[in-house]
Structure 1
Amino acid sequence: MRLLGGLSVTCGDARLTVPPGSRRLLAFLALHPAGVDRRSAAGILWPDVGDGRAAGNLRSALWRLQRGSCPLVQAEQSVLRLTADVEVDLRRLEEWASRVLAGVPEPADLAVDPGPIADLELLPGWYDDWVLAVRQRLQLRLLHALEALSRLLQQAGRPDAAVEAMHVAVLAEPLRESGQRALIEAHQAAGDWVAARRQFDAFRSILRREIGVEPSAELRAVASATGR
């Protein structure tokens, strides 16, 4: 199941057609891998109707999903969850981020192209509160992971790749100081002192213009290594 870039489901080589009334239920379950209470799910997914109608909508959405040839949902008396063999792309991304943030990456983790990672958007065009909360958390987690990836690449002797990773993160969030610091340090690790100083000066100008503040003392200390 894909949630990044839009909801889609494949079974083997075939792409499944998910009934419109069941798409929100399927996405909701994918965002809650531990399972959800039936009553709570109905209330969250159909907040504008009464409890009885919401429960009926849930039963209808579940029935449509269970009619398909590929089982997707495990329905118990009071709990719903995706079946154990359903793979969700969001989980793979979260696992990559967890390994990178913990400093224990697999070799393939350092080969990830940071550009596509930063462009990933959870369920674009969905504006339910339960989607927005996860989307915001995911975006922040990916920025943290890109900063950690940059440090790991520097440790692996790949400063140019570290610079690339942080350029992507800074483009996504130019006012985030931790990202700017990681980019400056990556430039320094690559021996490009001019680029490091230029990046600091550009960030200081953005801060002054946008919110009227100066970079932190910590960042100024990092940048001071590039000369004044």
Structure 2
Amino acid sequence: MAEPTRRLAVVGGLGVSPAVRLSLPSRRLLAFLAVHGTEVPRSLVAGRLWADVPEAQARANVRRAIWQTPAGWVAAGGDELRLDAEVDLPALHTAACAAIDGAALTLDEIERLSVDLLPGWNEEWVLSPQESFHLLRVQALEAACITMTARGMHALATQAGTAALAADPLRESAAFALIRAHLQEGNRHAAAVRFRTFARTLDEELGVEPDPRLARLVHTAVTARSA
């Protein structure tokens, strides 16, 4: 029987398939390799994961983490460590970049882009990748909302727009995209509710009002319905 493909997820939290027991050092090692590329110099792993200890101790910690990781997940060749598993991050990065360039997203892609990279992980080495992926996914969801609204894919457009605004509740361009998607769908009530919620959030967080153009867009639509 063929050995099952090993898969490692880092978006939405760390997950391994097939399920295996992992020590904390093993979890950190696998997550680092997944985020920074499947093949990474051992010295880089030691210096980033154990930056607060002497180099010799850091390298020893790397060896211990490899030893504690179930067989087959990490290949150590010379000074390089290679992750032998399929990682979810590259495919989502590709989908996000395609959406920014004008491609539509599937519902599965929208759901997977609705969560952050390793949420709850606060170590120094992961903060920059987390910030970069968060911005990328918000941009992708907003762009997909605009693209799919133009193509008449209203259900998916509103899903993407809702996810974009949930990820960044103060992002005015995302509010524009979602409200336009609701209006194109013919759902003026949802557009008005979304506008009021966004206006309240802006007021509470920043003490400012929404862009007058957004207010006019909603007002015009509601007035037209009343007329």
CA contact (8 A) 1:194 1:226 kept: no
Please state whether the residue corresponding to 1:16 is helix, strand or coil. coil
Change (3 A) 1:195 1:9: closer
Q: CA deviation at 1:45?
A: 0.6
The answer to whether the 8 Å contact 2:103/2:144 transfers is: no
Is the CA contact (8 Å cut-off) linking 1:97 and 1:141 kept in structure 2?
yes
Q: Percent identity?
A: 37
Q: Does 1:162 align with 2:169?
A: no
**Alpha-carbon distance in 2 for matches of 1:92, 1:136:** 18
Q: 1:181 aligns with which of 176, 180, 187?
A: 176
- Counterparts of 1:104 and 1:51, CA distance in 2: 46
- Does the 8 Å contact 1:3/1:90 carry over to 2? yes
Q: 1:75 — aligned with what?
A: 76
RMSD: 2.7
**What corresponds to 1:22 in structure 2?**
26
Name the counterpart of 2:5. none
Instruction: List alignment gaps of at least 5 residues for structure 1.
Output: none
**Corresponding position: 1:97 with 2:87:** no
Matches of 2:119 and 2:198, distance apart in 1:
29
- Separation in 1, partners of 2:123, 2:92: 22
Contact 2:182/2:191 (CA < 8 Å) preserved in 1?
yes
Per-residue deviation, 1:172: 3.4
1:45 maps to 2:49: yes
**Is the CA contact 2:39–2:81 (under 8 Å) kept in the aligned structure 1?**
yes
How far does residue 127 in structure 1 lie from its aligned partner after superposition?
Answer: 1.7
Is 2:106 aligned against 1:110?
Answer: yes
TM-score (norm 1): 0.79
Q: What is the CA distance between 1:177 and its match in structure 2?
A: 0.7
The alignment of Structure 1 onto Structure 2 pairs a total of residues equal to 216
Q: Higher mean Cα deviation, 150-159 or 180-189?
A: 150-159
Q: CA deviation at 1:88?
A: 0.8
Given that 1:147 and 1:182 are in contact with CA atoms closer than 8 Å, whether structure 2 keeps it comes out as yes
Q: 1:3 matched to which residue of 2?
A: 10
Q: Partner letter of residue 50 of structure 1?
A: P
Return the letter of the residue paired with 1:4. V
TM-score by length of 2: 0.79
Distance 1:121 1:205, change over 3 A: closer
Are the equivalent residues in 1 in contact too, given 2:50–2:58 (CA < 8 A)? yes
In the alignment, structure 1 residue 136 sits paired with structure 2 residue 131 = yes
Amino acid aligned to 1:111: L
Which 5+ residue runs of structure 2 have no aligned equivalent? Answer: 1-7
Secondary structure of the residue aligned to 2:221 is coil
Of 183-192 and 156-165, the range deviating more from structure 2: 156-165
